[in-house]
Amino acid sequence: MALVPNPVNDGPVFAEVDMGGDSSSPTVRATVVQAATVFYDTPATLDKAERLLAEAASYGSQLVVFPEAFVGGYPRGSNFGVTIGNRTAKGKEEFRKYHAAAIDVPGPEVVRLAAMAGKYKAHLVMGVIERDGYTLYCTVLFFDSQGHYLGKHRKIMPTALERIIWGFGDGSTIPVFETQIGKIGAAICWENRMPLLRTAMYAKGIEIYCAPTADARDLWQASMTHIALEGGCFVLSANQFCRRKDYPAPPDYVFSGTEEDLAPDSVVCAGGSVIISPSGTVLAGPNYEGEALISADLDLGEIARAKFDFDVVGHYSRPEVLSLTVMDQPTSPVTFTSAAAIAEVSKR
């Protein structure tokens, strides 16, 4: 897979962009990956992720962002056999297979992802389905370019039917990590539309705002531009590009309500991955053409220039009128008091 070529007048495909920053401002080359999961096959998905990371690194990328649920898969079109008051045996078996494709955090797949980041000397932001016992979470993992696992963000509000398969993250996993290339954090898909969540991330000083998503609609671009302007930060949104054939064939996997209208080559998620500057300028993308590596050079000096106009948690805030309290302690349904039990729970 090659980088998206330079834009031309007669085509919609965009390239990585030289922002032309001055020498006093550091520049970071960043890539968003637009590619499909190998569904129900986590080892093959990790192999694909390594190929894509290696290719992005060969072009000099220092930060590589993958889509929502890339490892583990986004179960587009499935209803897991759920209607109100009933769950089918087939749907329960579908969940069993989905649970088996998820990963433990920490776990061997996390070790491999960390090794990949270190091998290719790139910061890595990876969307995964996290398995914690028998509850799944839509999660983003962060790794630095030395191969260290930094931490995770769990999606705090799954959307619509996602709530039947994914748990809810709490305030303890809304991190912004200070790295060699800037302060990096992430919000997943429609939780990007939650103003208070965004405000918490702005208060932590986010500079490179990653937005893995499953939303390929044109309207998504408006949200991404707004966040870049509001936060005075770079926004990197990565989505999968998927065709029907990227999912198992029926009857093993059925797109509920639309299966009869789909051919193997039908596009079921059109991508739209994009990189936007703090001034609201689209630097690369959106791409709706296929799997791609979409890259741009981020002039970090753009952040200060944008904040001069509008600093949402700084000179443009009014804390005596409007303020936010974030409950950022881990929550648990069960609390133990013995040292042995506490140690056992802390291993999870």
Residues identified as active-site: 68
Find the helix or strand (DSSP H, E) in which 139 lies: strand 135-143
> Tokens standing for 25?
């401002």
Q: What are phi and psi of 324, to 5 degrees?
A: -130, 135
How far is it, in rounded angstroms, from Cα 121 to Cα 318?
41
**Would you call 278 exposed, middle or buried from its count of C-beta atoms within 10 A (0-12, 13-18, 19+)?**
buried
Count CB neighbours of 137 within 10 A: 24
Contacts of 267 (CB under 8 A, 6+ apart): 241, 242, 243
Edge-to-edge order in the sheet of strand 273-276: 176-179, 182-186, 208-210, 234-237, 273-276, 282-287
